[in-house]
Amino acid sequence: MHRSEIENLPTTPAHKARLLSRHNLVETTSGLAGDYIQANLIVLRAEYADDFRMLCARNPVPCPILGATPIGDPHRIMPTIPGVTLVDENDFDIRTDIPSYHTFRTVDCSKNGGKKKKVLIETKPTLLSDWTTEHIAFLIGCSFSFEQALTQQGLKICHQVQNKTVAMYRSSIPLLPAGIFHGSSFVVSMRLYRPEQLEEVRNVTRPYLATHGEPIAWGWEGARSIGVDDVGKVDYGDVQVVRDGEIPVFWGCGVTPQFAVEKALERNAISGTVMSHKPGQMLVTDWKITDFLEQTRKQLDLNG
């Protein structure tokens, strides 16, 4: 399908965004279908699901779990919060509806004189050849979900202005261990603001509890305190141009589980292939941001 065909279809902006992704017509999904929650992906064999759920429960800021497929069924998402429709099941396939994917597996490279095993990461347009009836796909909240709220307050998004993918870093904040997942740290996303904008940035993003919420660190000293010594060296996404007077502001990032998976693979604690989205290229869900905020309010009331 061509872009114009998809854009003229009588369907929702979220469905159009997924169709554009399915046909590899978009790169970063930042700013795409701004009224809808976006999600990170991690796909694991079912035997690792309990540890992964525990990892998310213990680290809800970088790993807010929104829902998961049944085992082996790529067409249906069961939401974490009952009654929410995360994705309409009529025309959905988690294996194709994200622009690009990453796969992770260990390869033996002792012949090359290196250490015996290393983790091979490949980028693919679909997961059709890797998905099996043993796999579960987990959706994790994404900070793209609150970017529209920021821009509506005049708090421009640097990577949208610069037409880049968001800058992401492996920080020094330890990810709290759960079962086979230990020894990794938070991945963080970064946006640039002026110091006088900070309080408003914090206030605007705070209610988005399940899409990373308010920032976890800010300023140049804050960057160093979380192990980001040079914002010009990204671990995922693109380097951003820092203008005079701007400071970096960091949020938890749903790429964090990919780093946790890599560490588990390095220790041979996971066998087979793990899959994810390519950082910056998300699943656009059917869950409207207004409905999501209402659910978040209820959750906080319940938990308080």
* Footprint on this chain of a copy of itself (rule: CB under 8 A): 49-50, 53-54, 56-61, 65, 68, 80, 82, 173-174, 176-179, 202, 206, 209, 213-217, 225-226, 252, 299-300, 302-304
Q: How many CB atoms lie within 10 A of CB 34?
A: 19
C-alpha 13/C-alpha 34 separation (Å) is 9
Q: What are phi and psi of 26, to 5 degrees?
A: -135, 155
C-alpha span between 252 and 254 (Å, rounded): 7
Residue 73 C-beta: closest distance to a copy of itself, Å: 15
Helix or strand or coil: residue 113? coil
**What is the total residue count of the chain?**
304
Min dist CB 103 to a copy of itself, Å, is 23
Nearer to a copy of itself, 53 or 102 (CB): 53
Question: What pairing do the DSSP bridges indicate for beta strands 283-288 and 36-45?
Answer: antiparallel
**160/299 with CB nearer a copy of itself:** 299
Min dist. Cβ of residue 176 to a copy of itself (A): 5
Alpha helices in the chain, H assignment, sequence order: 3-7, 13-22, 49-58, 147-152, 158-161, 198-205, 219-225, 256-266, 289-302
Cβ proximity to a copy of itself, 14 vs 249, nearer residue? 249
Nearer to a copy of itself, 79 or 99 (CB): 79
Determine the distance from the C-alpha atom of residue 144 to the mean position of all C-alpha atoms in its chain, rounded to a whole number.
Answer: 9
- One-letter amino acid identity for 173? I
Q: Compute the distance between CA of residue 272 and CA of residue 265 in angstroms, rounded to an integer.
A: 9
Tokens standing for residue 202: 């914090």
Token reading at 216: 């976890």
Under DSSP, is residue 48 helix (H, G, I), strand (E, B) or coil? Answer: helix
Positive or negative torsion for Cα 254, 218, 204, 81: positive
User: Quick one: 31 or 183, whose CB is closer to a copy of itself?
Assistant: 183
Least separation, in Å, of the C-beta of 256 and a copy of itself? Answer: 13
Nearest to 48 by CA among 291, 265, 235, 297: 265
What crossing angle do the helices spanning 256-266 and 49-58 adopt, rounded to 10°?
130
**Measured from the CB of residue 82, what is the shortest distance to a copy of itself in angstroms?**
8
Closer residue to a copy of itself in complex, CB, 14/187: 187
Nearest distance from C-beta of residue 177 to a copy of itself, angstroms: 6
**HSE-up of residue 55 (Cα within 13 Å, Cβ side):** 30
3-state secondary structure of 225: helix
Which is closer to a copy of itself, CB of 6 or CB of 226?
Answer: 226
Residue whose CB is less far from a copy of itself, 49 or 119: 49
Q: Report in angstroms how near the CB of residue 184 gets to a copy of itself at its nearest.
A: 12
Least Å distance between CB 24 and a copy of itself? 31
